Amino acid sequence: MTFNDLKSQVSTIITNQGLNRDEKLLGICKLLETNIAHYNWVGFYFKNGDKNELKLGPYVGAPTDHDIIPFGKGICGQVAVSNKNFVVPDVSAQDNYIACSITVKAEIVIPIFVNGENIGQIDIDSNTPDPFTTEDERFLEFVCAEVSTLL
């Protein structure tokens, strides 16, 4: 399935009036993890109220102990501070990486903005070394823009 095919399915999930916000987010996670071979863990983190930390939202993949991530810590925490996409081709080369699983080789994190504020992110782990392309980034930016309409 192409990214364009997936874009229309993401939009369909977002506009489904029969689902609540978390059901829509979980549906997107399932859609991406099922249809993109190098997406092995797909989840959302959101700013935890007024605290300088992220709280885990809906996800699919192996269970994680990282329900809360302080701003600045790990790839997700760095994106919360930088407000920029972060593509990590090799997690073992990152000093500030929080290991979730020994099988993870690469990670991509894209921020979600609402009214110019970074309120969360999509986080994707891959068991494949260096799998993420510019097309992945653009597609995930689209996903985050769609998700921002729910928040």
- Cα separation, 104 vs 127, in Å, equals 4
Least Cα distance to 60 among 38, 40, 35, 86 occurs for 40
The domain total for the chain is 1
- Cα separation, 116 vs 69, in Å, equals 22
CATH number at residue 72: 3.30.450.40
Give the DSSP per-residue string, 59-117.
EESS--S-SEEETTSHHHHHHHHH-S-EEES-GGG-TT---S-TT--EEEEEEEEETTE
- Find residue 106's DSSP bridge partners: 126
Give the HSE-up count for residue 53: Cα atoms under 13 Å, Cβ half-sphere: 9
Q: Which domain holds residue 93?
A: 3-148
**Tens digits of per-residue pLDDT, 67-112?**
999 999 999 999 999 999 999 999 989 888 776 778 999 999 999 9
How high is the pLDDT of residue 96?
80
CB under 8 Å to 27, separation ≥6 — which residues?
Answer: 13, 16, 19
Q: What is the mean pLDDT of residues 43-52?
A: 97
How high is the pLDDT of residue 13?
98
Q: Residue 110: left (phi > 0), alpha (psi -120 to 50), or beta? A: beta
How high is the pLDDT of residue 79?
97
